[in-house]
Amino acid sequence: MPTFYFSGIKSADEIGMLQQAGVSHILVDPVDYNVALDWPGSIALDSGSYRAFKAGEQLTPEGYARTLDEIDQSRFDWIITCDVIGNPGQTRSNWEAMNRLGYHTVPVWQWRAPVVDLQHYLAHSDLVALGGLVPILRDGREKKMDKAERAAYDKQRENVLSVVTELVEAHPMRFHFLGLCWLKALNRLMPNLASGDSSLWLEGARSALIIFKHAHSGLLQHAPVGVLPEYRGLERRQRCIVNAQNVQAYVGEI
């Protein structure tokens, strides 16, 4: 059965929301791990490469090794390698360097990276993380586009989703999807993923959206809280809790 890790956690209050929702698995990076020290469930460790990317920095195997030495590595289900966003060649070199240093980390195959790298990862690691897909497979609600631009955008991500679906189905239970932030992709991919993570549950706060299982399709959808009578009136915190509960329940039924 696939495992879903709730990510995007930045505060003790958000940890409290997930605990109230009955969530069992979370994903944090080394910085945010500080707010999850008392988390009673399972934890996976992301590298923090996105945080480094935003700061104009780049992770190195030696620096990452020092970071890992400062925390209890046995606490984590698995640890993502020190990937470099937008640089699949350096990401592979970093993973191989971590292996030489004696650290067992999950390799990251970035979208459009050489297929030979993917084959190498699959041959040498039980779990491979899929990265670089968040900018392509997000729903794009925040983007301002005219009708033609929207159609082209939707066509591109539908095409990419089809290719990713074929990849995941060809290697069931071998991949973790980093940042599964489009509900259509979550619905389609999760049955064949080993695991995935997302901060979508926080849309209850960011956009006042409720994630729910559609009564007829049985798939996850979202809608503004005001159009769903059973959720109307929920405040920010409770919306996030409901979203986490509904996502966890859905994945648990796969």
Residue 23 lies in a domain: yes
pLDDT of 140: 65
Residue 248 lies in a domain: no
Which sign, positive or negative, has the C-alpha torsion 53, 187, 41, 209? positive
pLDDT of 1: 87
Residue 190 lies in a domain: yes
pLDDT of 138: 77
As averages over each run of 10 residues, the pLDDT of the chain (254 residues) reads 96 97 97 96 96 93 97 97 96 98 98 97 98 85 77 90 98 98 96 98 96 96 95 96 98 94
pLDDT of 21: 98
Residue 221 lies in a domain: no
Distances (CA, A) of 57 to 51, 53, 85: 8, 6, 10
42 contacts: CB under 8 Å, gap ≥ 6: 3, 24, 25, 26, 77
Residue 9 lies in a domain: yes
Distances (CA, A) of 20 to 13, 41, 44, 64: 10, 13, 20, 32
Core vs surface per residue 32-63: b (16+ CB within 10 A) or e:
bbebbeebeeebbbbbbbbebbeeeeebebee
- Domain of residue 74, CATH code: 3.20.20.105
Residue 233 lies in a domain: no
Residue 32 lies in a domain: yes
pLDDT of 146: 83
DSSP letter (8 states) at residue 11: S
Residue 124 lies in a domain: yes
* Phi, then psi, of 125 in degrees rounded to 5: -145, 135
Task: Say how far apart CA 76 and CA 95 lie, in whole Å.
Answer: 18
pLDDT of 141: 62
Which tokens belong to 43? 């934890």
Domain with 89 in it? 3-202
* Phi, then psi, of 218 in degrees rounded to 5: 75, 10
Alpha carbons within 13 angstroms on the beta-carbon side of residue 125 total 27
The total number of structural domains in the chain stands at 1
pLDDT tens digits, 29-58: 999 999 999 999 999 999 999 999 999 999
